[in-house]
């Protein structure tokens, strides 16, 4: 592209904050070009199964935080989870994401059993866990049981900011340790952050990008912060569409090979948010496979889209939207082009 030089911090800060539509458009175009070089026009599908909304943590932004007495809690049984996988498989998904709060009921034994059960039925599928911070040994166990990917957003790479978003028992150092351990074990790792959280500055976002360059994750989840009424940040303003798109594009330019989802949160703040995300360099979508009965309850933020839709509706709705914008739905496992560690022990690495 040539015109966009991101070698200096000042240049990145400029693009983080620019409100010049022409500059933003150039940024998106450059990101699209890099995305095409790396992944063509394919958009990878992952089926998201939100299997528990119990959480022991109290993150100030999150609707399923422990302290939210208004949250109606649920946990799916192994049978329900396997049923979601079966539905997903029938709809063509080859990649399942098991996401939940940090739910102590799901001990390492129970998570291991769940992963083993899915792996037995689906030997070739990608199994992704997104269940927060655990000990390295636990991550190793899940990996041996057949999990091959792990999503754990770092949320913010600035220590002071991290402490403004989380209670003192949570720390950025531990979050980062988890991410490096996961990468080291051999998982394909997803980090990421929210755009527009309270107290976030452009410098925080720059640190996010610099941290991502250091970690070199296989995937980066970026979505706008959206207030949830029952949380301490319930009446704060949310993140903007434009800034989220700029952060997606910058991430694509700085980490060309990473997988970049156009998130549900982005689709929530704008009806075409996900499409615009794809046009700013994103190349993954994660439609919901959770049972319709519990979807509304996995309320990290207010007004979440697709909570009234069946898995099949989202699958085909997303396919249509993607095609309308000139992209190609791709149902394979969709492995990242970022290299991953060769596991030190026998596990279930990606091919």
Q: From the list ligand 5AD, ligand FES, none, which binds 225 (C-beta under 5 to 8 Å, kind-based)?
A: ligand 5AD
Integer angstrom CA distances of residue 203 from 16, 197, 249: 9, 13, 17
- Residue 62 CB, nearest approach to ligand 5AD (Å): 4
CB of 309 to ligand FES, least distance (A): 4
118 phi/psi in degrees, rounded to 5:
-70, -45
Q: Of these, 280, 314, 322, 338, which contacts ligand FES (CB under 6 A)?
A: 314
CB 166, min distance to ligand 5AD, A? 11
Which of 192, 287, 334, 347 binds ligand FES (CB under 6 A)? It is: 287
Name the pairing type of β-strands 95-100 and 328-330: unpaired
Residue 317 binds what, of ligand 5AD, ligand FES, none (CB under 5 to 8 Å, by partner type)? ligand FES
DSSP assignment of 208-245 = HHHHHHHH--SEEEEEE----TTSTTTTSPPPPHHHHH
Q: Is 306 in the site for ligand FES (CB under 6 A)?
A: yes
- Kindly state whether residue 318 participates in binding ligand FES, applying the rule CB under 6 A: yes
Do 75 and 103 contact (CB within 8 A), yes or no? yes
Which secondary structure element, helix H or strand E, spans residue 328, and what is its range? strand 328-330
Min dist. Cβ of residue 261 to ligand 5AD (A):
11
265 binds, among ligand 5AD, ligand FES, none (CB under 5 to 8 A by kind): ligand 5AD
C-alpha 122/C-alpha 69 separation (Å) is 37
* Binding partner of 306, given ligand FES, ligand 5AD, none, CB within 5-8 angstroms per partner class: ligand FES
* Chain residues that interact with ligand 5AD, rule: CB under 6 A: 61-62, 153, 155, 194, 223, 225-226, 228, 265, 300-301
């Amino acid at each position: 592209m040539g015109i966009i030089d991101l070698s200096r911090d000042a240049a990145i800060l400029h693009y983080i904050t620019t409100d010049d539509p022409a500059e933003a458009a150039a940024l998106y175009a450059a990101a699209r070009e890099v995305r095409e070089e790396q992944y063509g026009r394919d958009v990878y599908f992952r089926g998201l199964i939100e299997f528990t909304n119990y959480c022991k943590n109290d993150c100030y932004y999150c609707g399923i935080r422990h302290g939210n007495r208004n949250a109606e809690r649920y946990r799916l049984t192994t049978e329900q989870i396997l049923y979601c996988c079966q539905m997903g498989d029938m709809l063509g998904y080859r990649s399942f994401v098991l996401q939940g709060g940090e739910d102590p009921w799901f001990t390492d034994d129970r998570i291991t059993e769940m992963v083993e059960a899915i792996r037995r039925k689906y030997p070739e599928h990608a199994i992704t866990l997104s269940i927060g911070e655990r000990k390295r040994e636990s991550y190793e166990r899940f990996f041996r049981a057949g999990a091959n990917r792990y999503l754990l957003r770092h949320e913010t790479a600035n220590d002071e900011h991290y402490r403004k978003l989380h209670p003192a028992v949570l720390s950025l150092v531990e979050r980062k340790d988890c991410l490096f351990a996961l990468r080291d074990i051999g998982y394909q790792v997803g980090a990421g952050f929210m755009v527009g959280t309270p107290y976030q500055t452009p410098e925080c976002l720059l640190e996010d990008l610099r941290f991502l360059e250091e970690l070199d994750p296989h995937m980066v989840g970026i979505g706008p912060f959206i207030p949830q009424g029952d949380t301490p940040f319930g009446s704060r303003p949310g993140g903007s569409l434009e800034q989220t798109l700029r952060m997606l594009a910058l991430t694509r330019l700085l980490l060309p090979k990473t997988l970049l989802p156009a998130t549900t949160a982005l689709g929530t703040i704008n009806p075409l948010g996900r499409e615009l995300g794809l046009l700013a360099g994103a190349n993954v979508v994660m439609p919901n496979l959770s049972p319709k009965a519990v979807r509304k309850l996995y309320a990290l933020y207010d007004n979440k889209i697709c909570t009234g839709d069946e898995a099949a509706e989202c699958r085909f709705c997303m396919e249509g939207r993607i095609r309308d914008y000139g992209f190609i739905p791709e149902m394979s496992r969709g492995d990242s082009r970022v290299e991953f560690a060769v596991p030190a022990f026998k596990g279930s690495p990606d091919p």
